[in-house]
Structure 1
Amino acid sequence: MRLFLLTNVLICLWAMKGQGQNQHVHVPPTDSIKAWMNQLKVPGLGIGTIERGKLTRVMVLGELKAGVAAPYNTIFDVASLTKSVTTQLALRLVSEGQWSLDEPLYKYWVDPDVQTDPRHKKLTTRHILSHRTGFVNWRWMHKTKKLTFDFDPGTKVRYSGEGFNYLMRALEKKFKKSFQELCDAYIFQPYKMTDTHLTWRKGVAENRFALGHNGVGKPYALDKNQKANAADNLLTTIEDFGRFGVNVLAQKGVNQQAFKEMVRPQSKVKPGVAFGLGWIVFDGLPNNEYALFNAGGDKGVAAVIVLLPKSNRGIIIMANSEQRAIVMKMIVKTLDVGLDMMKRF
């Protein structure tokens, strides 16, 4: 009987140990991170961790620019992480019954470039969030320099920022509010993201902004974007975007059905990698885990967010450098599923 009880206790302790490990996000020693930053010529780096559904760590290392130390509340340009905010906004509206994933958007907005193409009547929010619009990333990249359907919406996969801006225009027309007003009401205010901005409007603290640098550590000139973009250029801090990640995991304002649609693979990219709605979904990870992934990479910046809904964990990484190797290295070093994820790229 004693042996039986002892065996049961050991089994329970082992299970608890495994559970605890699954809840942990391992951040390497600061000296190691600084060494990698120096090696890759990354001036500034921010790291946020989510464990058990709570923001457990916010740290910022390095400099905003030469000779200026980066503070705890450094403001980073996080490029395409903006798409996660737009996605969350749309899903909150869907959850409230004010918006539909599958209603054609032409009822609210038609871009002048595609008004004579009948395929514009097929385009939906689902197509946009799962990157199946038929658009290139940006219209200036197309040979016509115009927004163009290269295939019917929903039939193929192609990453597109233009789609998110199309959705932004439709939302603005439907609700008769600016994208900024919608984000303030549904995301920034309820999630307490008080240091997050779509543009360089009044309130952005330039003395805390991490100036972008190229891959060898040379700074770019500051570009103060004045126009809201639903796919790019979000200005935020590690703490603010950490709060965002916590709220995504907690499904705040998003009902169960909308969340299931978000995390369900909608557009297969390769084995174990697909677009959900607004996120890249890595499924079949160790410990029956799956990951929601989004990355941002523009001139002078690199950023990433990884959320693990099964274990309520996450990592947020932001750099004022276009040296993307630093954020990928941090994913591998901090998450037990990180190496498996990176092998799939």
Structure 2
Amino acid sequence: MRLASLPGLSMAVIKRGNLVWTQVHGVVNAGTGAAVRTDTLFEAASMSKPVFAYGMLQLVERGKLELDRPLVDYYRPSYLPRNPDIDRITARHVLAHTSGLPNWGDENKPETLQPAFSPGRYFRYSGEGYFWLQLVAEKITGKGLDALMRELLFEPAGMTRSMFAWDEEHLPDISFGHRGGKAVASHGMRGVMNLILPRATKWGKPVRDWMHEDWLRVAAELQPDAPPVRVRFQNAAGSLLTTASDYARFVSIVCESPRRASWEITDPLRRAMITKQIAVQQGVPLAWGLGWGLELGAPRLRFAHEGNNEDLFTSYATGDAARGDGLVILTNAGSGFGIVQRITRATTGFDPLSFIANMDPPRDA
């Protein structure tokens, strides 16, 4: 960690579906020297996506969302350009990254949001698709992202240290992100929380209960002369705050188990999460399920996901579904990925292809 200029790290290991080991190292802020604790919150970055995908499959099981119904039947955001391929995108396409949408586009430049191919044809990693599905879920349920995921997953699973939206109560527990070994105090939500919290008090609506329209409203108040950045706030693709032990609980839920709680998705949908929907590249044993990347070249199938928020936080989680084993690593610097790779190889004995994969690979058309 010292060699990598990585200030802080939190890890958890599950065996046979049970959390058996947690460990923390380093500091949450290189400037103050405050130590990482087991309950310190890290930005999970793109590891948000499998968590959100699980919630969407819960909605599928409850009959509120259809995997193969076009999302425009539920809600079509005004910023999306007119394109018949967009009108065919479904929740399945979004969760498997086959929508053709870019990772991120600019709502003020419709050409940047055009799909690269007809949905379902190829793999193309897309945060845009997940954000659109988040808006669909809000329209279906009438609840904001964090409130919905608290109801569906966090509270029943005992993930008491997981949230998609920042709030005043947990602000002191959130690790700073680091660049070049130095804490970045103005990153993301941390830089605007002192402006947002008074609005929540004035409105009588806690931040964690806000819907996307509330975030747009506060953005308009804070910067009336600038178009709001719609993905700046709570975001299904990347704003999850969590601990290693909380995320390990989620990994265990995705693994096989002889008993499932009534709130969990049934085995057919759980298996669908970790069943190949699309190859990342043809002829390579790396694929995508519904929310998870799949390492098909391992001795047994491994599901996994990485995360990186602006090179300030890096993270990784992987599980062996058949054995119920798993590993979660959260770090508070972009330099953490080299450490993540070494820990993963040493712990699992496997060298994941996702560590070197191009997530927007060349296509034959």
Superposed pair shares fold, TM > 0.5: yes
The counterpart of 2:314, out of the listed 281, 302, 305, is 302
Q: Is the 8 A contact 1:113 1:148 kept in 2?
A: no
Note the alpha carbon deviations across 1:230-265, whole angstroms, 9 max, x for none. Answer: 100211111211222122224651112212221111
The counterpart of 1:257, out of the listed 248, 268, 271, is 268
Tell me, yes or no, if structure 1 residue 186 matches structure 2 residue 192: no
Q: Which amino acid in 1 is paired with 2:80?
A: V
Counterpart for residue 333 of structure 2: 321
Identity percentage of aligned residues: 30
Counterpart for residue 244 of structure 1: 250
Unaligned runs of 5+ in 1: 1-36
Cα distance in 2, alignment partners of residues 43 and 141 from structure 1: 35
Counterpart for residue 48 of structure 2: 82
Counterpart for residue 57 of structure 2: 91
Q: Is the 8 A contact 2:100 2:118 kept in 1?
A: yes
Range moving further from structure 2, 111-120 or 270-279: 111-120
Cα distance in 2, alignment partners of residues 259 and 135 from structure 1: 25
The counterpart of 1:267, out of the listed 273, 278, 282, is 278
Cα distance in 1, alignment partners of residues 52 and 149 from structure 2: 8
Counterpart for residue 285 of structure 1: 298
Note the alpha carbon deviations across 1:285-309, whole angstroms, 9 max, x for none. Answer: 22xx110010001221000100110
- Report SS of the residue matched to 1:242: helix
**Count of paired positions:** 304
Pick closer, same or farther for the CA change 1:65–1:242 going to 2, 3 Å.
same
Q: Which amino acid in 2 is paired with 1:265?
A: K
Q: Which amino acid in 2 is paired with 1:254?
A: I
Counterpart for residue 211 of structure 2: none
Displacement of 1:180 in angstroms is: 1.8
Cα distance in 1, alignment partners of residues 267 and 34 from structure 2: 45
TM-score (norm: length of structure 1)? 0.83
Q: Which amino acid in 2 is paired with 1:233?
A: S
Counterpart for residue 229 of structure 1: 235
Pick closer, same or farther for the CA change 1:105–1:144 going to 2, 3 Å.
closer
Which entry has the higher C-alpha Rg, 1 or 2? Answer: 1
Pick closer, same or farther for the CA change 1:141–1:181 going to 2, 3 Å.
closer
Cα distance in 2, alignment partners of residues 147 and 285 from structure 1: 35
Q: Is the 8 A contact 2:14 2:252 kept in 1?
A: yes
Cα distance in 2, alignment partners of residues 267 and 141 from structure 1: 28
Counterpart for residue 289 of structure 2: 276
Range moving further from structure 2, 79-88 or 149-158: 149-158
Counterpart for residue 211 of structure 1: 176
Q: Is the 8 A contact 2:286 2:354 kept in 1?
A: no
Q: Which amino acid in 2 is paired with 1:110?
A: R
Which structure shows the bigger proportion of residues in helix conformation? 1
In the TM superposition, 1:61-72 aligns within 5 A as 61-66=25-30, 67-72=33-38
